[in-house]
């Protein structure tokens, strides 16, 4: 089954060229099926690139997905055309006021890691989003800073500044092979990392109700399950394209920003060579497993989402 996107959204043509099945509103309306409604709260500056990355992953399953793009109500991006934002995004306050519910919500990262959570201009609204998910979203996936912010809000787990940026592709161990979210995963996997902060294993383990699923000796926990809040938190970037780390590295070099070559990314750590993508298959597994879990547990009557927190499987 395809992912439903507006035909004039850039991701529609990008994914179509890649062989991902996409359909527009008219084609979707002819199918007698309830698609899974997945929201993307996009906090990244390069909105279109991020849309493509997540749409590619959630659109690769056999299920029909309806993607809804959401932005913070008052925050205005300077990196994406206003026409694009006006055409495809709805402010969160409008979504909340409509009373609509979502089967899933992805909350992206944001390049504001050095700031304290309370200093972020849209922090109050973002915490309303977190609380809203408990009554209006069946499953939430917080990514990088978005995941750190959500786990801090619900559990008080702190983020800590690193002495040097964690930048590159790092090996992570599968601590929970029985987890449905890691179905098909190897005993270890490689994940792109690009962050100045971390959340520490001991502090996560000390918080009630959290379970670390993927962990690294070098860069710490990567994937955490929070069943009580129907949430997953991933602190690294399965969704990255093959050249995303290269683009970040080249940007910093061009701007004269002190930066190290991303580790384990280029063959021989030589930035003159073509980078290697060693995470794509696990990225599709993770997001495909998340979509499958939503499908198996979300109520068919979407109005029932948030009425209770019991697992609806079976």
Give the catalytic positions in this structure: 144, 237, 239
CA–CA separation, 121 vs 29, rounded Å?
Answer: 39
Query: Considering only CA atoms, which of 5, 99, 97 is closest in space to residue 51?
Result: 5
**β partners of residue 189:** 172
Query: Which tokens go with 239?
Result: 């969704």
The β-bridge relationship of strands 231-234 and 220-226 is antiparallel
Query: Does an H or E element contain 76, and which?
Result: none
DSSP 276: -
Query: Which tokens go with 308?
Result: 């209770």
Query: Considering only CA atoms, which of 283, 223, 240, 194 is closest in space to residue 53?
Result: 240
Q: Helices marked H in the chain — which ranges?
A: 10-18, 25-29, 47-58, 82-88, 92-98, 123-136, 145-155, 201-206, 244-255, 280-297
């Amino acid at each position: 089954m395809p992912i439903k996107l507006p035909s004039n959204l850039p991701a529609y043509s990008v994914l179509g060229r890649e062989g991902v099945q996409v359909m527009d509103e008219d084609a979707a309306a002819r199918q007698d099926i309830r698609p899974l409604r997945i929201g993307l709260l996009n906090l990244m500056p390069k909105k279109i690139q991020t849309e493509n990355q997540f749409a590619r992953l959630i659109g690769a399953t056999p299920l029909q997905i309806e993607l809804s793009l959401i932005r913070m109500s008052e925050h205005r991006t300077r990196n994406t055309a206003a026409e694009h934002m006006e055409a495809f995004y709805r402010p969160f306050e409008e979504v909340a006021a409509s009373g609509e519910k979502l089967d899933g919500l992805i909350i992206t990262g944001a390049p504001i890691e050095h700031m304290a959570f309370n200093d972020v201009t849209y922090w109050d609204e973002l915490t309303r989003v977190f609380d809203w998910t408990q009554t209006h979203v069946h499953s939430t996936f917080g990514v990088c800073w978005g995941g750190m912010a959500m786990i801090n809000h619900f559990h008080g787990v702190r983020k800590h500044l690193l002495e040097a940026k964690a930048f590159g592709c790092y090996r992570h161990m599968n601590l929970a092979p029985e987890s449905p979210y890691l179905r098909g995963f190897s005993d270890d996997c490689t994940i792109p990392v690009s962050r100045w902060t971390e959340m520490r294993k001991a502090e996560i383990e000390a918080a009630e109700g959290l379970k670390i699923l993927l962990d690294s000796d070098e860069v710490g926990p990567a994937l955490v399950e929070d069943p009580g809040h129907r949430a997953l938190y991933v602190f690294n970037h399965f969704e990255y394209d093959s050249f995303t780390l290269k683009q970040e590295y080249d940007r910093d070099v061009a701007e004269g920003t002190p930066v190290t070559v991303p580790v384990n990314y280029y063959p021989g750590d030589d930035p003159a060579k073509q980078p290697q993508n060693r995470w794509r298959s696990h990225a599709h597994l993770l997001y495909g497993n998340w979509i499958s879990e939503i499908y198996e547990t979300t109520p068919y009557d979407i109005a029932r989402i948030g009425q209770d927190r019991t697992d609806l499987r079976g």
